[in-house]
Structure 1
Amino acid sequence: MLTDKEFIRYQRQIMLPEIAEVGQKSLIESSVLIIGCGGLGCAVAMQLAGAGVGKLVLCDDDVLEESNLHRQLSYRESDLGQPKSEALAKHVRQLNSMVSVRSVNRRMKFDSLMLEASMADLVVDCTDNFATRQQINKACLAKKTPLVSGAAIGWDGQLVYFDYQDNGPCYHCLYPFTEDSEGGKCSESGVMGPNVNMIASLQSMYAIQALVKPEMIQAGQLMVFDGRTLTQHKFDIAKDDACNICKKGSKS
């Protein structure tokens, strides 16, 4: 049962039939690993903390710069120069003291990713490069930990959820390479701040659904958002039978 304090705090969310008290209890008892505390990750962390996810682990090896502030709205000017994971953990605690939050101020090696993924109910990939995304996918596949992956650049964004069940596709089936394309980062191509927060909000929606009612989401489906026209499209991801990541995982 929820405490009186929990019920009062989350009552507007509890009123939703898809959540109710049972769903809210599930959120409170859940642990989410957020990798990347930039534009996507800082918004996801605050939204999940607001929703009452009980434990958040925030991982990033970067420090906050002034050029981040136009889109990374969870931070303040007073945070400049601080490690993002630590500054974000501070703001999460200020928003919701009932949430347990741990910061990891380093770039995790694969063994660490495997360990953190094994302890999480869900991983949210908010990173900005293919090499890290592929490592996260590999770790989540090995541990069968569901993954919400998002990306935003310019006016465009995308979102995908993998549950690694029923021999479905993985991230490597969608993008079978590890190198970033030229101009594939905000510092090279620019980015619209609200677009980043749009994708982060969709990641948070997926995360909450995955923790409460995963049947609400279709796994292995890519959502593509066009910020210029404010339209979105969905595409089913075909499993690559030659994928050297999930093909190996299905045999283990």
Structure 2
Amino acid sequence: MSSEALSPDETRRYARHLVLKGMGGAGQQALKRARVLVVGAGGLGSPVIAYLAGAGVGTLGVVDHDSVSLSNLQRQVIHRTEDDGETKAASAARFVGELNPHVRVNQHAERLAPANAQAILSAYDLVLDGTDNLETRRVVATSAEVLGLPLVSGAVSMFDGQVTVFATGGPRFADLYPAAASDAELPSCEATGILGPLTGVIGTLMAMEAIKLITGIGEPLIGRVLVYDGKDARFSEFTL
């Protein structure tokens, strides 16, 4: 049996994928081969990790230096009350192990910085960034661009969110967030609040884009930014 062949348990687990036109066995095996890094195991990272683990991504890396706190649990749904004080990377790994034992989890309980970013990202095929500050986002985007890795990028604030994909040949992160933009100009979650389900909407869309990129299904959001207005329940899109 090859490393990408599906076991009887996996065949039952992924039955709805295997009968899905356009996915099938080839798509599921591509997911099993995939090595995906999720930067941030918080509001956006939670649904990303949950759905990619459920979908059968073979290797998930989780980067997060922070620890779980009670104020996270209104939106960071993979963590539990009893995980208060535990590193988010470890809590996420526990969640994945309980949901799908066929997924390998690499924990990176450290802050992503220019000194370590390329070394961490180079072990993966695809990166998803759900962090909440431009400094880290720029580090992730720069490293992904240097390594030629596609990057699924999501962002949320209060009632609104957006998601896009950066990939070789498409617009760059700096086209959406110019160098002049700074974290001081952006509202923080602590200061302005955020509606919990909003992170679920955007995080799930990020997981969808990742699965599309891995399997070749559909048209990814490369060069397009999908914007969600949660208060008015409207999606819009603009081109980079």
**What TM bracket, shorter-length normalisation?**
over 0.9
Instruction: Give the one of 191, 194, 198 matched to 1:191.
Output: 194
2:237 is matched with 234
Instruction: Give the one of 119, 122, 125 matched to 1:118.
Output: 122
Matches within 5 A, 1:201-212: 201-212=204-215
1:10 is matched with 14
Q: CA deviation at 1:26?
A: 0.2
Q: Deviations over 1:191-229 (max 9, x none)?
A: 000011110010010111011016521412111110011
* CA distance in structure 2 between the aligned counterparts of 1:11 and 1:227, rounded to whole angstroms: 33
* CA distance in structure 2 between the aligned counterparts of 1:40 and 1:59, rounded to whole angstroms: 13
Preserved CA contact (<8 Å) 1:183 1:189:
no
Gaps of 5+ in 1: 238-252
Aligned length: 235
2:173 is matched with 171
SS of 1:119 mapped into structure 2: coil
SS of 1:110 mapped into structure 2: coil
Change (3 A) 1:183 1:229: same
Q: Deviations over 1:123-154 (max 9, x none)?
A: 00010001111111100100010000001110
TM-score by length of 2: 0.94
More deviation in 23-32 or 10-19? 10-19
Gaps of 5+ in 2: none
TM-score by length of 1: 0.90
Matches within 5 A, 1:102-181: 102-165=106-169, 168-177=170-179, 179-181=182-184
1:19 aligned onto 2:23: yes
% identical aligned pairs? 36
Structure 1 consecutive aligned stretches of length 4 or more whose deviation exceeds 3 Å: none
SS of 2:20 mapped into structure 1: coil
* CA distance in structure 1 between the aligned counterparts of 2:221 and 2:41, rounded to whole angstroms: 26
Q: CA deviation at 1:15?
A: 1.5
